[in-house]
Each structure stands twice: as C-alpha cells, then as structure tokens.
Chains A and B, each alone.
Chain A
Amino acid sequence: MDIAGALSFDHLKFLAAGFKVTLYIAFISIILSFIIGVVFGTLRYAKIPFLSKVVAVIVETIRNLPLLLIIFFTYFALPEVGLKLSPSTAAIAALTVFESAMLAEIVRSGLNSIDKGQKEAARSSGLTYIQTLWTVVMPQALRRMVPPIVSQFISLLKDTSLCVVIALPEFMHNAQIIYAQNINYIFPIFAVVVFMYFIVNYCLSLIARRLENRQA
C-alpha cells in the first residue's frame, strides 16, 4: 500500500475534477427526472383513457430493466437508428429515462395514498379536476413522497458511477486511471471514493430524515 503516492496533490485534484462531473451529471438528471417523473406519475394516476395505459406500459418496461443496459442502449444502440449522443448527453439521457420511471412510480403511489374522500369533497365544492389535483391532492402527496424521492436521488447519484462504461470522465473513471498506474494505490484510492460518495449521500439522507420528521 502506498498512501502518500496514491493521495498526492495532483491525484486528489484529478479525483476532484471527476467528482465535479459526477455531481454535474447527477444534478441535471435529478432535475429532469423529477419533472418527467411527476408528469408521468400524475398521468398514470389520472386514468386518462389510452394515455394512462401507454404511460403505464412505458414506465413498467423501463423500471424493470437494468440501468446499465439502458446506458449501453442509449450510447451504443441509438446511433443505429440515427440518434447520436455524446457520452455526457447519453449519460444524462439514460439516467433521466431510468430514474423518471422510478420516480413516476413513487409519485403514482403517493397520489394513490391520499384519501379519496378529499378529492370528492373538493370536487363537490366546485373545484375542477385539475384544480383538485393541483391544490388538494398533490401538495399532501408530495410531502409524503419526500423520503422515497430523496432516496431515489441518492440512487441516481450512486448510479452515475455506471457511466464509466461509456468513458464519461466521472469520479470512478478518474479513480480507475489513478489506480491503474500502480496496484498499491488501489486501497487508498478506494477509500477516498467510498468516503466521498458516502459523505454526499449521507448528508442527503440526513436532510430527507429531517424533512420527514418535520411533517410528523
């Protein structure tokens, strides 16, 4: 083991550059997948003829596939049908597609957990369906959904590491380049990798817990 050699200033700087890419890709994907997830989850909940069924089939198909496969598919297979993406766009697209489906399911079951009586009461007091959904059901449901949504975000951040397969210069990729130089670097570098992922994700989960307690 060579701790000093592995954790030289230059190496740490290189790792930090990778971590920045990881955070950037995760951040964009979180925003996009949250929006798409809420829209798709609501569409499924709303039971609009045909449309809700189509959304259900899409969401269920994607949710039941490995993310790694979706990443490979987005980057290596889509060009065959004319859709060409750079590694970072492909990474964002694949993560967004997968996590949107996971979030859509969370949103749908969150909406379903709200007492039906409230919806009926709101409707009979003159609100339209959309108004009821937006002002009565959604705010309550979102509050209940916070913990599972945050843990899905944590999953997303962890899952960015899979993008190493398309040579995205993220955290794990840069770590590999460093420990490839010398097998004695592998333990110290792994320690840094584990530490960084842990710190960020643990903070996220603490925030989630605080939000959860505040409601309770």
Chain B
Amino acid sequence: MFKSKTSKIAGVLLLSASMLLSACGKGGDKETSGSAKNALEQIKSKDKIVIGVKYDTRLFGLKNPSTGEVEGFDIDISKELAKDLVGDAKKVEFKEVTSKTRIPMLNNGDIDAIVATMTISEERKKEADFSDVYFDAGQSLLVKKGSPIKGLEDLKKGTKVLAVKGSTSAINISQKAPDTTVLEFENYTEAFTALKAGKGDALTTDDSILYGMVDQDSNYELVGGTFTDEPYGIAVKKGNEELVDAINSALKKMKENGKYDEIHKKWIRSN
C-alpha cells in the first residue's frame, strides 16, 4: 500500500518534471481502458457503487456537519440506484465532487457515476456518457430581496453576476447578458458566501440549486423565471452502454413505482 503510493508519487514527480521541461505533451489520446467496458460487472463484483455527489448544494447534495451525512434529492436517487444495481440502498459510497472536479474524478476511476446536478450538454457528451433525464431544471437568477434586478434584462454593463467554474450557467450567462461582468468561484459555497458578502448583484445557476439557497436564507429570492433548459442526467465513464442501460431501467422503475415522486416531493418545492 505504502510502497505503491510512493512509487506513484515518484512517478508524478518524474512525469510532471519531464513534462514541464520538454513541454511535449498530449501523449496518449483519451482512450477508455479495457476494464471500463465491464463497469457494470465491476460494480456488481465489488458489491458497491461509488457515486460522486455535491456536498455543498442544499436540497440536492449537502453534507450536514451535524450528522456527518450527505442529504438531498441526488442522494436519495443514488440510494434507489444502488438498491436496483447492487440490491441494497446501503451499498452506496458517496464521494464529494464539484462542478469542476466531477469529470476528472469519473475518468480517474474514483467514482462509478456522477449524480450531481449535472446538465446533459453536447460538450459534456464528448467527455462522458449520460443516462436519460432525471430532473428538469432551468437557469435563473438569485438576488437579495428588494434588488433592482428583476430579470435577465436588468443585467447591464457594470452589473456583477456570480457563478461557479465548470458550470453550464457560467457559459450561458456570458452569452445571454454579454455586457455584464461574470465572476466565477470554485464551488457554490464560495459563490453564495460572496453574494451574501455583497461581492455581486446576482448569482446565477439552476433554479433547483437556487431554491436550496433561498431555503437556507430567506432574504434572497429568485427573479426572472428560467431562461434555459437544464436537463439533469447521470453520467458514467464513456463507453459503458450496459451501465447506462441499467441506470435507465432503474430510473424507469423508480418513476413507475412512485418512488421517484416520493423523493421529488420530499426535496423539491414547486413555486
């Protein structure tokens, strides 16, 4: 264990150094390894599924510092998934991802799947395989109550909008409101803390995530409705049709037996 870690680190040292020096890069195209083909069997044989979820997104995936547990819509969906794939809702291990770290973690093999408020997009389909849509979100704006910003049209030159690195909303907002200044943060915790600290006029991301922030601090409200469609999907490593199929059939079962509605009702408040 220790030995392999040291040799790994020695590898990093040599590799990063030689890479930096020779500056020749991009060795090896992004191939999917042979073992990845049997991702579904791998999950079954280790009798556990490892899922990447958010730890900082209220209602979807939030680490509760008091209990040490992660809670939310994505968490309950993941548990149902585990029940279907490995036969027990408890046989799921959660690992924290952020919008930026989730695809590297999936490709690293740290996690088997991503259930983390992840929008299915054409760009991302090049990086990972997606299940069917399991939640429909849309991008919106969060402002302090009484803010002059009532919608997208109020985002003018000089307005500061806060977003999260690696999220689709960061890209969308600079297209929908090109004059506004966008400031991007590592995660939602930092972005919302920045909004509360008065570092920006609005925070933009999916309405589902914003509702969680309102739930936490009622001095803030959503404005302007939704202006994009953000269909959430479950992502797995590229080239794993069997796993995608298995996830899709699990999702279908959840919807048929009422479990999905139950989870939806538990976490999502419709306005």
Contacts and interface: CB of A to CB of B under 8 A. Distances in A.
Nearest to B189: A180
Interface residues of A, number: 47
B102 to A, nearest CB: 10
Contact of A78 (B16, B100, B110): B16
Interface of B: 5-6, 8-9, 11-13, 15-17, 19-21, 25-28, 30, 55-56, 63, 65-68, 96-98, 100-101, 104-105, 107-110, 186-190, 192-193, 196-197, 216-217
A93 B216 contact: no
Nearest to A9: B66
Contact of B104 (A76, A179, A182): A76
A87 B101 CA distance: 9
Contacts of B25: 80-81
B110 A167 contact: no
A36 B13 contact: yes
A61 interface: yes
A10 B68 CA distance: 9
| A-B complex: 9 closest residue pairs judged by Cβ atoms | A84-B108, A180-B189, A10-B66, A14-B65, A93-B12, A58-B17, A183-B196, A167-B96, A93-B9
Contact of A81 (B19, B108, B186): B19
A76 to B, nearest CB: 6
B98 A181 contact: no
A167 B8 contact: no
Contacts of A200: none
A86 B65 contact: no
B115 to A, nearest CB: 16
Given A32-B9, A85-B12, A176-B190, A14 B68 contact: yes
A32 B6 contact: yes
Interface string A125-144: 00000000000000000000
Nearest to A32: B9
Contact of B193 (A75, A164, A167, A183): A183
A96 interface: yes
Contacts of A179: 193
Contacts of B13: 36, 93, 96-97, 100
A177 B186 contact: no
B12 A10 contact: no
Nearest to B213: A180
B110 A180 contact: no
B66 A78 contact: no
A58 B28 CA distance: 23
Given A89-B5, A93-B9, A96-B9, A180 B193 contact: yes
B8 A89 contact: yes
